[in-house]
Amino acid sequence: MNPIKIIIAGPRGRMGREAVKLVSNTTHFELVAVVDHKYDSMMLSDLEGFQTIHHVPIYNDIEKCLQTIKADVLIDLTTPEVGMFHARTALHYHVRPVVGTTGFSKEDLAELEEICQKKELGCIIAPNFAIGAVLMMKFSQMAAKYFPDVEIIEMHHDGKLDAPSGTAVKTAEMISESRIKKQQGHPNEKETMNGARGANFDGMHIHSVRLPGLVAHQQVLFGSDGQTLTLRHDSYNRGSFMSGVKVAVETVMKHNHFVYGLENILE
Amino acid sequence: MNPIKIIIAGPRGRMGREAVKLVSNTTHFELVAVVDHKYDSMMLSDLEGFQTIHHVPIYNDIEKCLQTIKADVLIDLTTPEVGMFHARTALHYHVRPVVGTTGFSKEDLAELEEICQKKELGCIIAPNFAIGAVLMMKFSQMAAKYFPDVEIIEMHHDGKLDAPSGTAVKTAEMISESRIKKQQGHPNEKETMNGARGANFDGMHIHSVRLPGLVAHQQVLFGSDGQTLTLRHDSYNRGSFMSGVKVAVETVMKHNHFVYGLENILE
Amino acid sequence: MNPIKIIIAGPRGRMGREAVKLVSNTTHFELVAVVDHKYDSMMLSDLEGFQTIHHVPIYNDIEKCLQTIKADVLIDLTTPEVGMFHARTALHYHVRPVVGTTGFSKEDLAELEEICQKKELGCIIAPNFAIGAVLMMKFSQMAAKYFPDVEIIEMHHDGKLDAPSGTAVKTAEMISESRIKKQQGHPNEKETMNGARGANFDGMHIHSVRLPGLVAHQQVLFGSDGQTLTLRHDSYNRGSFMSGVKVAVETVMKHNHFVYGLENILE
Amino acid sequence: MNPIKIIIAGPRGRMGREAVKLVSNTTHFELVAVVDHKYDSMMLSDLEGFQTIHHVPIYNDIEKCLQTIKADVLIDLTTPEVGMFHARTALHYHVRPVVGTTGFSKEDLAELEEICQKKELGCIIAPNFAIGAVLMMKFSQMAAKYFPDVEIIEMHHDGKLDAPSGTAVKTAEMISESRIKKQQGHPNEKETMNGARGANFDGMHIHSVRLPGLVAHQQVLFGSDGQTLTLRHDSYNRGSFMSGVKVAVETVMKHNHFVYGLENILE
């Protein structure tokens, strides 16, 4: 079996560096080029931190890159605006995009879906590549069908500004789609201190813990007569995203359609 | 909508008592009779602990019960031998069995499946009715596809004689079906105290904790680069089985085929 | 060694029943009488649930009981008002009180302390006899000296009306006594949903989870650079109070002074 | 108040680098020199990773350093052999040692204790500077007096070779000193898979989990009638040691005696 030939856009970002490492260390993957707005015509091994990654040319211009280098997949870890342009261009050159940025508009997604359909090509856009987090959300949605009583506790380092976290809100939204709507807790419950019962999202409660030392953690607790079910994800570092990128690259090669969200390719 | 008419076999056992409570307290369920090897021709309200359950006759003989009383579902919480006889007889009288006992042979299951097919009737045999535990096992099997590194920690009261628990073994078996086989831990790891790394099942490790105060708890831990995913079920009392019985009764009415294991009716 | 002779006041309450069981099952304890506002002059074995507890007379009047029956310790599990009267009377008859009710006034406590000092007798008043909970609070107070960043998550069944729980508030108060005062979280943090960050007690945050299936649980989380420390207590049933009653009875026999709060006799 | 003047030996090791950061960032600490077997007579700011740490000379020879530079405390993060020599020399020059290496012999400790006594100087040797871990061990020892039933679960990344971890063994030893000796679990319990019940240390059980993604974690579970108490420490990175170093430096300045083990300075 030939290795999957991969171009990475945004190799010097925090995610990009992990992706370069992943592709280099995976036997059936091959890094054939990178796209970067700087360092055109240099080799990746000329840059600090990449000295051991040989024979990988750098391109400023994605079109030139795709015209010159034969590839199967583009991993894009840039920005939403650039990501859209890169995905569209890659599909034009019959290269399947795996894009890890958020912020696509509905129109963007619809346009990409249409191109994929015409070209019969796979394309995966995933705002969250941490498989563990995506499974936690997916399982929460499944469990909520049987256990409508649920609370979410998310825990992050105390440098985080917003509460609740984006993942907690996304989890609550996914649960809302599957559970019978209900207002939880005792109808006459009362807070003797404001905020004790957390935030109320569609009748379920969300609690945000902030402490130094913590990284990024979330538990979803389901309760029912005589039992509780707890789903918990702990993320310790950025490496957690890479198993998701790997699955996405492998999956996009078998697809001839568009997918939004890693949860839709995990079975 | 008419309520689902239900016969309970084994009403005086620990599970049976909970089932009587469940059926009595559920609006769209109706308890129409019970089958017990004692107290023939008496009323359930004559027995201690059931004084408030009116108009429910007791039968010794399941055939006589089924001939006399019109029912939709038989909930059987007796013993494997009796359970098989009851299920077969119920199907003969066009009543759908929901059976909560373990120990059926392959031949038993095949026979019931065949009868269901012929009669186009639903039948559910479930060794474990705790939905939370069944979801934990099902999610574990799903997660193991992406996270082949997994350990199981089960925790029970210190009156429990066998280790590991049946649920832990069943979980490990289900995981084995979906994960890429691997021997976990460092190839050169070594125990400086015997047993520290737990039991080895097909390359994954199982740990059994026994302490007074505990009831029945299990966690399944998945680890991968930079992240962990934990699935945990806590069972505090027998009430935990009843949500599963409820789902099984509702589901068996829509089925015209045989199902073994609650995991196969949870979506 | 002679067994410790014990009178129990309030034997038919939920705590009282557990205490009767404890005293009966402990080799070096002996139940010599009970005080109850009903059933004067009967024997405890005449009452439902106590048939196996022989030779224990019932008294309505504590004075008459103390005059007639030689005892070392009075375990009082009645009400605050009655408890105060019982404790005072017991000390008068040289019997050491172990009282498990809340709601004593400062004056009550001062009066009892004075009597203990004069009579050189031990007396223990403990609003919470669950040793595990008391240790969690005590350890939290100790840890807060080194880890001023702390959040409390308490979790109870959804029949509970007030949030946060009394134990959570008491824990926060004890922590406040030992930690350097600080407002936790990022100074610019902001809630995009009201209440997400929980209740604010003296700069630390308290979160209250309510779900069916839960009993009474609390975690105290401390965070500091690169590490977290978690103290957790799970209470599954009333039996959890009895180890505290046992320690209190054993300790009160060695004391000749007054103690308020189990935390002050645990070393 | 004058800042505490500090020399760090071993500044380029993993712990040493963190210590340099700690001392530089603490207002009432001042880094006055470092001792390193390389780079004599250079400045610390000449070395990679220390460019922002100005005015700190490097010495090869500790004696010369102590003769030239006035200091209050020596933080030694080198090796056991060097550490002993450094501590002895520092005390000779009236500088208080805070040493973070393991492997001191009983004779070494006795010698240092004697010097401290003669010179009336503080000295702290601590094999583990993670305050959270030390508190977990200390609290475990205290809790075991009341809860003799206890199991330890330690969890580490799967690159770790030995099981159980040194911290788990140390915890078990400390618990053994305070608990009533007992063989836990049911007397007739039996393993249907070898090792399920973990390692047996003095009647208590230890379980070692190894998974990729994990860092260094330990829980100590106590069980008793109707309740459990759980003490858990999670270490995410080396920063966790620094709060312990800070407390040790502050404490050693107030001491005029020798201390072995951080647990003996935490109150």
Per-residue pLDDT reduced to its tens digit, D46-79: 998 899 999 999 999 999 999 999 999 999 999 8
Look at residue B154 and tell me whether its pLDDT is greater than 80. Answer: yes
Rounded to a whole number of angstroms, the distance from the CA of D112 to the nearest CA of chain B is 31
Inter-chain residue contact C238 with D247, CB threshold 8 Å: no
Does residue B73 share a domain with residue B16? yes
Please report the pLDDT score of residue C76 as a whole number. 96
Q: What residue in B sits closest to A267 (Cα-Cα)?
A: B142
What residues contact A144, with CB distance under 8 A and at least 6 apart? A150, A175, A178, A179, A222
Please report the pLDDT score of residue C183 as a whole number. 87
Mutation for testing the B interface, residue in D190, D208, D225 having most B CBs under 10 Å? D208
B148 φψ region: left (φ > 0), alpha (ψ -120 to 50), beta (else): alpha
Half-sphere exposure of C80 (CA within 13 A, CB side): 8
Rounded to a whole number of angstroms, the distance from the CA of A239 to the nearest CA of chain D is 9
Inter-chain residue contact B153 with D209, CB threshold 8 Å: yes
pLDDT in tens, B223-264: 999 999 999 999 998 888 898 999 999 999 999 999 999 999
Inter-chain residue contact A227 with C213, CB threshold 8 Å: yes
Q: Could you tell me which residue, D101 or D52, shows the higher pLDDT?
A: D52
Please report the pLDDT score of residue D14 as a whole number. 87
The token pair that represents A24 in the structure block: 């280099």
Name the E strands within A106-185: 123-125, 150-156, 162-163
Please report the pLDDT score of residue B135 as a whole number. 97
Reference B75, options B95, B60, B92, B103; nearest CA is B95
Look at residue B102 and tell me whether its pLDDT is greater than 90. Answer: no
Q: What residue in D sits closest to C237 (Cα-Cα)?
A: D226
Q: What residue in D sits closest to B227 (Cα-Cα)?
A: D213
Does residue A176 share a domain with residue A67? no
Inter-chain residue contact C199 with A199, CB threshold 8 Å: no
Inter-chain residue contact A209 with C153, CB threshold 8 Å: yes
Residue D232: its chain C contacts at CB < 8 A?
229-232
Partner residue facing D196 (CB), from B158, B163, B228: B163
Range of the domain at C64: 4-125+239-264
Give SS3 for D110.
Answer: helix
Task: For residue B114, count other CB atoms closer than 10 A to its CB.
Answer: 11
Reference D101, options D14, D161, D218, D40; nearest CA is D14
Please report the pLDDT score of residue D116 as a whole number. 97
Please report the pLDDT score of residue D86 as a whole number. 96
* Residue A103 assigned ligand-binding role: no
Type of residue at D59: Y
Does residue C140 share a domain with residue C119? no
* Residue D167 assigned ligand-binding role: yes
Res. C79 pLDDT band, cuts 50 70 90: confident
Partner residue facing C213 (CB), from A155, A189, A228: A228
DSSP string, C48-91: TT-TT--S-BEES-HHHHHHHS--SEEEE-S-HHHHHHHHHHHH
Please report the pLDDT score of residue D81 as a whole number. 81
pTM of the predicted model as reported, rounded to 2 decimal places:
0.91
Q: Is the peptide bond before C164 cis (omega within 30 degrees of 0)?
A: yes
- The continuous run of DSSP H or E covering B230 comes out as strand B227-235
Please report the pLDDT score of residue A238 as a whole number. 83
Name the E strands within chain A: 4-9, 29-35, 58-59, 73-76, 96-99, 123-125, 150-156, 162-163, 190-191, 199-201, 204-210, 216-224, 227-235, 258-260
Look at residue B44 and tell me whether its pLDDT is greater than 90. Answer: yes
Look at residue C102 and tell me whether its pLDDT is greater than 80. Answer: no
Chain position carrying tokens 């880094």? D31
CATH value at residue A137: 3.30.360.10
Please report the pLDDT score of residue C80 as a whole number. 79
Chain B residues interacting with chain A (CB cutoff of 8 angstroms): 130-133, 135-136, 139, 142-143, 145-147, 222, 224-243, 247, 266-267
Reference D157, options B225, B238, A167, A115; nearest CA is B225
C119-127 mean pLDDT: 95
Does the active-site annotation cover D160?
yes
Residue B193: its chain D contacts at CB < 8 A?
163-164, 169, 199-201, 206
Residue B208: its chain D contacts at CB < 8 A?
191, 196-198
Does residue A86 share a domain with residue A9? yes
Res. D102 pLDDT band, cuts 50 70 90: confident
Q: Percentage of chain D with pLDDT > 70?
A: 100
Inter-chain residue contact B208 with D197, CB threshold 8 Å: yes
Inter-chain residue contact A230 with B231, CB threshold 8 Å: yes
CA dihedral of A35, A39, A41, A43, whole degrees rounded to 10: -80
Does residue C150 share a domain with residue C28? no
Reference A244, options A79, A94, A19; nearest CA is A19
What residues contact A39, with CB distance under 8 A and at least 6 apart? A46, A47, A58
Kindly give the parts of chain A with pLDDT less than 70.
none
D233-249 mean pLDDT: 92
Q: Could you tell me which residue, B51 or C101, shows the higher pLDDT?
A: B51
Instruction: Report chain B's mean pLDDT, rounded to a whole number.
Output: 94
Does residue B160 share a domain with residue B232? yes
Does residue C169 share a domain with residue C249? no
Q: What residue in C sits closest to B237 (Cα-Cα)?
A: C213
- CA dist A234 and B138 (Å) reads 20
Does residue A77 share a domain with residue A28? yes
Reference B29, options B235, B177, B258, B247; nearest CA is B247
Of C56-60, C203-207, C263-267, minimum mean pLDDT range: C263-267
Please report the pLDDT score of residue B67 as a whole number. 97
Does residue A160 share a domain with residue A135? yes
Please report the pLDDT score of residue C20 as a whole number. 96
Please report the pLDDT score of residue A211 as a whole number. 97
C49 φψ region: left (φ > 0), alpha (ψ -120 to 50), beta (else): left
D240 close to D106: Cβ distance less than 8 angstroms: no
pLDDT in tens, B169-187: 999 999 999 999 888 889 9
User: Parallel, antiparallel, or unpaired for β C150-156 and C216-224?
Assistant: antiparallel
Rounded to a whole number of angstroms, the distance from the CA of B64 to the nearest CA of chain D is 44
Q: What residue in C sits closest to A152 (Cα-Cα)?
A: C209
Please report the pLDDT score of residue A8 as a whole number. 98
- Predicted ipTM of the assembly: 0.88
Inter-chain residue contact C240 with B213, CB threshold 8 Å: yes
Does residue A151 share a domain with residue A117? no
User: What is the tally of structural domains in chain C?
Assistant: 2
Does residue B120 share a domain with residue B136? no
Does the active-site annotation cover D54?
no
Residues of C annotated as catalytic are 156, 160
Give SS3 for C175.
Answer: helix
CATH value at residue C30: 3.40.50.720
Mutation for testing the A interface, residue in C153, C206, C207 having most A CBs under 10 Å? C207
Does residue B54 share a domain with residue B28? yes
Task: List D258's β-bridge partners, or say none.
Answer: D123
Look at residue D103 and tell me whether its pLDDT is greater than 90. Answer: no
